[in-house]
Amino acid sequence: MRNLRFRTKLAVSFWGMLIIALCLPAYYLYQTLEQEILEEARAHSFTQLQLVSWLLQKSEPFEDVRALDHWCKELGKRSRYRITLISSAGRVIADSDVLFEEIQQLDSHADRPEVVGARKQEKASSIRYSTTLKRKLIYAAQKISLPHVPAAVLRVAIPLSTVQARMAYFANRFWMILAGFFLFAAALSFFLAKKLETPIRKIIETAGSIGEGNYQERVDIESGPEFSRLAACINEMAGRIQQHINKISRQARELEAVFEGMQEGVMLLDENGRIKAANEALSLLAKCKPSCTGRRPMEIFLNPEIQTACEEVLGGKPYLRLTVGMDNRSVYEINLVRIPDGGAVVVFHDISELVRLERVRRDFVANVSHELRTPLTSIKGYAETLINKGFNADDTAARFLQTIHKNATQMSNIVNDLLELTRLETVKQNPADLKPINAFSCLSMAWETCLPLARAKNIELINPLSDVPKVQAEENALVLVFRNLLENAVRYSPENTRIHVFAKDQPDQVVFAVQDEGPGIAREHQERIFERFYRVDKERSRASGGTGLGLSICRHAVLGMGGRIWVQSPPDGAQKGTVFYFFLKKA
């Protein structure tokens, strides 16, 4: 039923309703008519019975039973009724349709319903099948009193065939009309159902067509407000979809143009780690032919680092960045971003030029410093010689000599620091070169170099590092870090103060801190003090003799040993002062 077409369903329901609406009243009508006809037949049979009874009483007296029987037979032949006379005991006395000789053999009629009825209520009737005559008959019986047979029952049986024939004729006509009506109504209902279905089918076809992508398709029907509204809704929906599709495809085209136009190589990985899309720049950079899609990053880059990074990001890392050198000396910075629904975006940014410029800059600084060092040493040396030898000069010349010596020394310090910085930048600290180092001895060595200035300002060092565990470091670098931090601290601390050095022992690293009681560093400078030549107070710093490179050297040295350095000013629980922290891994 569920799979039937709408039209069929509608027609079948119509037919069902028609059958119920036509047949039930028709059946009732038929029943009533049939009863009417039977009733009429019954009344007729009583009339005939009365007639027979009157004739019988008129014809009296008969000589004997045989004469009575004969009379019955005569009358029966003329009227075509069966006339039976039954004694009070139920025995048949005379019968029009049975030979006189056989009457004796008939069984008792006392239990026949009409006979029973007649005995009780003078007269009665019944319709039933006669076994004697082998057909359906209407029996009508009444009590009769004859001289020979007192209290007998006279019975007339009228064949039902006439009634039946009438009934059959009537029924025939009746059912024929009904069938005619039904056929007409069925055809009508079929037609109606079909008409109802047409707009629905149109709507279905159009909706299907829209679903397949023909967004220009519209429903065009004129049939009732409901269907028109449905059609209008579908048309509107199609219009909206078309708008959205246009918008989305325009956006997609724009995005694709951006994607293809990008200088950076971009590829999209699916959740299985295969390349879903790649732009022109990436295809060029990976030299994949004919297309990168469907392959793994490993196949096109032949680079285990990229493959591992892709796998890590697909495995759940939200973000990853790495720098990879490819063949022909290009260097790429690769950013991998995980897409939450699975997959990843990988962007290749060519930083070869940047790397090259950085190297040029470093080389330039190193070369210049190197070239400057020799003449500077010579200037410094000669100036020193002149001063020490007590060169016969007037006050002005001596003052000039002092200035030359002081500035040459300052410049020489800067050049030395620059060279140190360049060395730290270029020579990547090899992890294998890091050894377990005792920080306490490094600090002591660093303090030695600061002692003259510290003594002059009466600054004391509080150094409780003697029981700190060993750290992974390079001895010279660690001394360098401590020396620069202590020099700074001494330089900026007021007289008669203390410098605290302390260390925090953490599970896998040690945090060192160098704290002074100087004026502190304003917040806006704190981020920049690790840049080379950055000075908080230009005049004062220069006067104090710093090169402006100390903290820069510290940062590179600490980074090289796998640590990090940062500043806090003022320190926790203090009004002024600065504390420099750095951590190193435990040995």
Q: Which of 299, 312, 333, 537 touches another protein by CB under 8 A?
A: 299
Q: In whole angstroms, what is the distance from residue 86 CA to residue 119 CA?
A: 11
Which listed range, 68-76, 250-258, 292-300, 439-447, lies at the site for another protein (CB under 8 A)? 292-300
Closer residue to another protein in complex, CB, 298/587: 298
| Helix, strand or coil, per DSSP, at residue 313 | helix
Residue 307 interacts with another protein (CB under 8 A)?
yes
Closest contact distance (angstroms) between CB of 8 and another protein is 45
Using alpha carbons, select from 482, 458, 444, 507 the residue that is nearest to residue 561: 482
Structure tokens at 101: 């000789």
Residue 303 interacts with another protein (CB under 8 A)?
yes
Residue 130 interacts with another protein (CB under 8 A)?
no
Q: Find the helix packing angle between 65-79 and 6-59, rounded to 10°.
A: 140
Using alpha carbons, select from 417, 446, 438 the residue that is nearest to residue 545: 417
Closer residue to another protein in complex, CB, 431/494: 431
Q: In whole angstroms, what is the distance from residue 132 CA to residue 106 CA?
A: 9
Using alpha carbons, select from 46, 52, 45, 47 the residue that is nearest to residue 73: 52
Closer residue to another protein in complex, CB, 111/327: 327
Closest contact distance (angstroms) between CB of 328 and another protein is 11
Closest contact distance (angstroms) between CB of 298 and another protein is 5
What DSSP letter does each residue of 119-180 carry, written as one string? HHHSEEEEEEEETTTTEEEEEEEEEE--SSSTTEEEEEEEETHHHHHHHHHHHHHHHHHHHH
Torsion angle (degrees, nearest 10) of CA 382, 388, 393, 395? 110
Which listed range, 127-135, 299-307, 411-419, 549-557, lies at the site for another protein (CB under 8 A)? 299-307
Residue 304 interacts with another protein (CB under 8 A)?
yes
Residue 296 interacts with another protein (CB under 8 A)?
yes
Q: Determine phi and psi for 322, rounding to 5 degrees.
A: -145, 155
Residue 495 interacts with another protein (CB under 8 A)?
no
Closer residue to another protein in complex, CB, 293/407: 293
Residue 350 interacts with another protein (CB under 8 A)?
no
- Residue numbers 320-349 binding another protein by CB under 8 A: 327
Residue 233 interacts with another protein (CB under 8 A)?
no
- In the chain the first and final C-alpha atoms are separated, in Å, by 82
250: amino acid identity, one letter = R
Which listed range, 9-17, 233-241, 301-309, 342-350, lies at the site for another protein (CB under 8 A)? 301-309
Closest contact distance (angstroms) between CB of 496 and another protein is 50
Closer residue to another protein in complex, CB, 189/303: 303
Closest contact distance (angstroms) between CB of 335 and another protein is 21
Eight-state DSSP code of residue 295: S
Closer residue to another protein in complex, CB, 300/473: 300
Closest contact distance (angstroms) between CB of 293 and another protein is 15
Q: Which of 298, 339, 351, 445 touches another protein by CB under 8 A?
A: 298
* 549 close to 532: Cβ distance less than 8 angstroms: yes
Which listed range, 85-93, 129-137, 219-227, 291-299, lies at the site for another protein (CB under 8 A)? 291-299
Structure tokens at 36: 């009417």
Give the up-direction half-sphere exposure of residue 411: CA atoms within 13 A in the CB hemisphere. 19
287: amino acid identity, one letter = K
Report the phi/psi class of residue 67: left, alpha or beta, with left for phi > 0 and alpha for psi in -120 to 50: alpha
Residue 290 interacts with another protein (CB under 8 A)?
no
Which listed range, 115-123, 256-264, 294-302, 457-465, lies at the site for another protein (CB under 8 A)? 294-302
Residue 302 interacts with another protein (CB under 8 A)?
yes
Q: How many residues bind another protein (CB under 8 A)?
A: 8
Closest contact distance (angstroms) between CB of 256 and another protein is 27
Closest contact distance (angstroms) between CB of 365 and another protein is 21
Q: In whole angstroms, what is the distance from residue 559 CA to residue 182 CA?
A: 100
Closest contact distance (angstroms) between CB of 336 and another protein is 18
Q: How far is CA 384 from CA 251, 380, 403, 416, 425, in A?
A: 75, 6, 11, 19, 33
Closer residue to another protein in complex, CB, 432/543: 432
Count of C-beta atoms within a 10 Å radius of residue 582: 24
Which listed range, 43-51, 300-308, 530-538, 544-552, lies at the site for another protein (CB under 8 A)? 300-308
Instruction: Name the site residues for another protein (rule: CB under 8 A).
Output: 296, 298-299, 302-304, 307, 327
